[in-house]
Amino acid sequence: MTFAPPPHSPSQPGRRNFFSSAAKLTAAGSLIGLGAAGTTTAAAPANCAKASGALARPTVRHYALSRVRLEDRFEFDGGKVMSTQTALYTLEIRDGKIARILPQGAQLPGALPHYDAQGLLLLPALRDMHTHLDKTFYGEPWQAPRRGKTIVEMIAIEEKLIPRLLPKSQERAEKLIELMHSKGTTVARSHCNIDPVSGLKSLEHLQLALARHRDSLACEIVAFPQHGLLRSGIEPLMREAVKMGVQYIGGLDPTNVDTHMEKSLDTTFGLALDTGAGIDFHLHEAAPTGLAAVNYIIGQVEANPKLRGKVTLSHAFVLASLDDGQLAELAGRMTAQKISLASTLPLGKGVMPLPQLAERGVFVMTGTDSITDHWLPFGNCDMLEKANLYAQLYRKLDEFQLSRSLAIATGNVLPLNDQGQRAWPLPGDSASGVLVAASCSAEAVARLPARAAVLHDGRVVYGGFDKEATGKNKAAG
Ligand SMILES: [Zn+2]
């Protein structure tokens, strides 16, 4: 959970539309863009405004999805990308994978259930790589945060709040997951409090929520000592959390909260090395302690090759205060150790040097840091909006740069590579992605169309299909 200037995220928490699970599969259905009637995309290539009538989703693991718009190449003018060329394809989806990508109109086995994407653009799955599904007010009546002045004051507030939130934390997490799906997110990393107030209960509730969405959300968990690892004496609980299945050891401001940087970080790294877990460390501290912590963390990974590729710095606001030389040096070391960075894209004086880090090879991710909670009132779980914010914040304004901005929200998965060749989807890829009424990913980043349908491993987890069947595999158009 961040303790810094919040990212700009208009608060429009909506509710997912629920569909009848009993809706009947038809021989051919057409995708409906629920909520897409309000899309800002002028060049919507499909009629996706219909939002009435019964809806269906595939109930089988082998089907065809026709008239899917995929990006084919860039159009160049004098070496500069001027536009993105797309075409319509039929995807044969089998056992959660894209088995074949066929030209629109190709002959398919007649018995194969067949759905119609109506020309909507398929984007890669969206990823919220820093959230706190265990702590949110979402689903409750509106309340603004009561902020403390320091992180220690915030912890004191939380110690009283957590017992009140805990009884319904599973229910709220599930509502948040449904909101995430409505925005296209099907991959996430959630921190989860491990603290003396809730013990392992927050984790138990989160795992129950995730178990009920195991077919729609791929979610890693970070055991997060929000009240301090040393300060709250929870090292044994952290070990229990790993036994319960968390993939990452979390951490928090080793000087400001634990008051002993080296001992705190040594304990964190000891836990990771003992258990085989990775590390995802919240670091809000400014220089000099924040910089010392970054250096110490990188040094620990350099000294323990088993952790290479398994460590993430979350926030790391101190990186925004470094000069070019310091940043280049740290970025080089982070890249060598495959240390990733998760950032919420903060505004204001703490604007992070994310493009500079990415250009030097640091894997940069973004996340919501949860929404509507006792830390921040903002957020709607829209990771495409994070890509849009990235483009605005770093002036990525042309076709090429807008299209590249999508990477922050997709784990660097982009439809076209920098040379304009199709990089995604390819046969064998997971049948996961987001269908939107946009002509290309640059337009989607700029104009934020509503999500019409969301696929995760071949399953439709948001949106649905028109029950009115045409029964034909429509030709390209
Ligand atoms: Zn956080």
pLDDT digits (tens, 9 = 90+) for 354-402: 999 999 999 999 999 999 888 889 989 999 999 999 999 999 999 999 9
Q: Report pLDDT digits (tens) over 305-352.
A: 999 999 999 999 999 999 999 999 999 999 999 999 999 999 988 899
Q: How far is the CA of 10 from the centre of ligand 1 (A)?
A: 19
In the chain, the largest separation of any two C-alpha atoms, in whole Å, equals 68
Q: How far is the CA of 315 from the centre of ligand 1 (A)?
A: 8
Q: What is the mean pLDDT of residues 402-411?
A: 98
Do 115 and 148 fall into the same domain?
Answer: no
Domain, as residue range, for 153: 127-381
Do 257 and 357 fall into the same domain?
Answer: yes
Q: What is the pLDDT of residue 17?
A: 31
Do 328 and 448 fall into the same domain?
Answer: no
| pLDDT at 42 > cutoff 80 | no
Residue 403 lies in a domain: no
Q: How far is the CA of 365 from the centre of ligand 1 (A)?
A: 13
Query: What is the pLDDT of the chain when averaged over all its residues?
Result: 87
| pLDDT at 29 > cutoff 90 | no
Do 219 and 206 fall into the same domain?
Answer: yes
Q: How far is the CA of 343 from the centre of ligand 1 (A)?
A: 9
Neighbours of 233 (CB within 10 A): 12
Q: What is the pLDDT of residue 3?
A: 44
Q: How far is the CA of 155 from the centre of ligand 1 (A)?
A: 13
Do 118 and 165 fall into the same domain?
Answer: no
Q: Report pLDDT digits (tens) over 54-96.
A: 567 898 999 999 999 999 999 999 999 999 999 999 999 999 9
Q: Report pLDDT digits (tens) over 212-222.
A: 999 999 999 99
Q: How far is the CA of 215 from the centre of ligand 1 (A)?
A: 25
Q: pTM of the prediction?
A: 0.88
Residue 14 lies in a domain: no
Do 330 and 434 fall into the same domain?
Answer: no
Q: What is the pLDDT of residue 108?
A: 84
Q: What is the pLDDT of residue 55?
A: 62
Q: What is the pLDDT of residue 109?
A: 81
Q: What is the mean pLDDT of residues 33-42?
A: 32
| pLDDT at 282 > cutoff 70 | yes
Q: How far is the CA of 82 from the centre of ligand 1 (A)?
A: 38
Do 347 and 293 fall into the same domain?
Answer: yes
Whether the ω angle into residue 425 lies within 30 degrees of 0, i.e. cis, is yes
Q: What is the pLDDT of residue 54?
A: 56
Q: How far is the CA of 413 from the centre of ligand 1 (A)?
A: 23
Q: Report pLDDT digits (tens) over 427-465.
A: 999 999 999 999 999 999 999 999 999 999 999 999 976
Residue 77 lies in a domain: yes
Do 307 and 360 fall into the same domain?
Answer: yes
Q: Which residue has the higher pLDDT, 146 or 91?
A: 91
Q: What are phi and psi of 352, to 5 degrees?
A: -85, 145
Q: What is the mean pLDDT of residues 137-153?
A: 90
Residue 301 lies in a domain: yes
Q: How far is the CA of 370 from the centre of ligand 1 (A)?
A: 7
Residue 164 lies in a domain: yes
Which pLDDT band holds residue 47 (cuts at 50, 70, 90)? very low
Q: How far is the CA of 373 from the centre of ligand 1 (A)?
A: 11
Q: How far is the CA of 130 from the centre of ligand 1 (A)?
A: 6
Q: Report pLDDT digits (tens) over 109-143.
A: 888 998 999 999 999 999 999 999 999 999 889 99
Q: Report pLDDT digits (tens) over 222-275.
A: 999 999 999 999 999 999 999 999 999 999 999 999 999 999 999 999 999 999
Do 446 and 361 fall into the same domain?
Answer: no
Q: What is the pLDDT of residue 236?
A: 98
Q: What is the pLDDT of residue 466?
A: 62
What domain count does the chain have? 2
Q: Report pLDDT digits (tens) over 174-227.
A: 999 999 999 999 999 999 999 999 999 999 999 999 999 999 999 999 999 999
CA separation for the pair 349, 22 (Å, rounded): 51
Q: How far is the CA of 206 from the centre of ligand 1 (A)?
A: 15
Q: How far is the CA of 59 from the centre of ligand 1 (A)?
A: 36
Q: How far is the CA of 133 from the centre of ligand 1 (A)?
A: 10
Do 314 and 184 fall into the same domain?
Answer: yes
Report the CATH number at residue 235: 3.20.20.140
